[in-house]
Amino acid sequence: MAEASWRRRWRWLCVPMVLVAMAWTVWLLWGALPAMRANLPRLRPSWLVFILMGNAISSYLGFEAFRALFDRMRPGLYQRLPLAHLYFAGQLMKHLPGRIWGIAYQSTTGQRATLAEWVSVTAVYMALTTGFALWVAVGVLGFMLGWEWGLLALVAGGAVYALFWQKRPLTILLDLLGKLPVRAMGRLCEAMRPFADVDARFKRAVWCWFVASWLVYLLAWMGYGLAWPGLTAGDGIWLCGIYTLAWFAGYISLVSPSGVGVRELVFVLLAHRFPPDAVAGMAVLGRVMLLFVDILLGAIFMPFKALGK
């Protein structure tokens, strides 16, 4: 009852929240355009289309992983298109200062699911997203040191996914983390418990969606390398690993919305072995592409809001 009352009070904010998130993201994109224009004459235009398509497909495949998790929690509650609207609207709102607007919009607009269910799905999704990001980054950087290190990183990451996503190990881990003197951590662990006991087929499906998303993202970064004169597709892959670590640093930072500034700083510091102008250009291009894809997919699925009520 209290949750329904809270949703009624805040429902009027749904449309303004989406518009503000869209405007804010466009503003962030606009702020990056001067630096982008400075590097644009050096880039090969045909590869920019390849990069854009790769980022968009990768982002959509990430949504399919989210959809699999949501359907596990509430089977058949939403069809693909209205759930895509709720997901990509939330992706737009991650660029706003603070980290609550996406889940606030989803739980207020997607009223068929409870707030606890939205938090549970989002918590598991973000944990898996972060885990796969670190796995890819460590794997790529491991191959920079030698094939044996890269192979070890890939095997270790797969083993962690297979072994820890079991009922007993995950329950023990959540119990330990829940005892930390941080109230938010306890709530987060409770939110993730519904996914502790799932079948192997479901875990394989989620794994496939995340792997497919990251493989396409790596292909897009090969395009980054081929788009910049003097770099190769292999350089693009290495820069992807570095940029992913930088993304993680920006994500866990609380000093700027969506990690803007932090991500670029870490990327420049870690990519010191590459030409400085290429690193600076790739940092800007990576941010512009991610912002543009969020705006594009948010706009594409915006009309399906009414279907999700």
Predicted confidence (pLDDT) per residue in 192-207, tens digit:
888 888 888 898 999 9
Encode pLDDT of 256-295 as tens digits.
Answer: 555 556 777 788 788 888 888 788 778 778 888 888 899 8
> Nearest CA to 204 among 165, 257, 247, 244?
165
CB 4 within 8 A of CB 114: no
CA distance linking residue 225 with residue 227, whole number of Å:
5
Q: Would you state the pLDDT for residue 51?
A: 92
175, two tokens: 């119990």
pLDDT for res 17: 61
pLDDT, tens only, 117-138: 888 888 889 889 988 988 988 8
DSSP state of 256: S
CA–CA–CA angle 277, 279, 284 (5° rounding) = 95
DSSP string covering 55-92: HHHHHHHHHHHHHHHHHHHSTTSS-HHHHHHHHHHHHH
Residue 34 has pLDDT above 80, yes or no: no
Q: Name the band, by pLDDT with cuts 50, 70 and 90, for residue 180.
A: confident
- For residue 150, which of 162, 138, 134 has the smallest C-alpha distance? 138
- The whole-angstrom separation of Cα 141 and Cα 145 is 7
| Nearest in space to 260 (alpha carbons), one of 280, 295, 242, 287 | 287
Asked if residue 204 lies in contact with residue 215, where contact means CB atoms within 8 angstroms, the answer is no
What's the structural domain count of the chain? 1
Residue 1 DSSP code? -
Mean pLDDT of 77-104: 82
Q: Supply the range of the domain harboring residue 153.
A: 2-308
* Tokens encoding 85: 């609207």
Q: What is the pLDDT of residue 6?
A: 47
**Alpha helices for the chain (secondary structure H):** 2-10, 14-39, 45-73, 80-93, 101-109, 115-145, 147-164, 167-178, 183-192, 200-227, 233-252, 262-270, 276-300
For residue 60, pLDDT beyond 70: yes
Low-confidence winner among 19-23, 58-62, 273-277 (lowest mean pLDDT): 19-23
For 153-173, write each residue's pLDDT tens digit. 989 988 888 887 888 888 888
96 DSSP assignment: S
Average pLDDT of the residues of the chain: 81
What is residue 101's predicted lDDT score, i.e. its pLDDT?
74
Asked whether the beta carbons of 287 and 91 are under 8 A apart, the reply is no
What's the pLDDT score for residue 281? Answer: 79
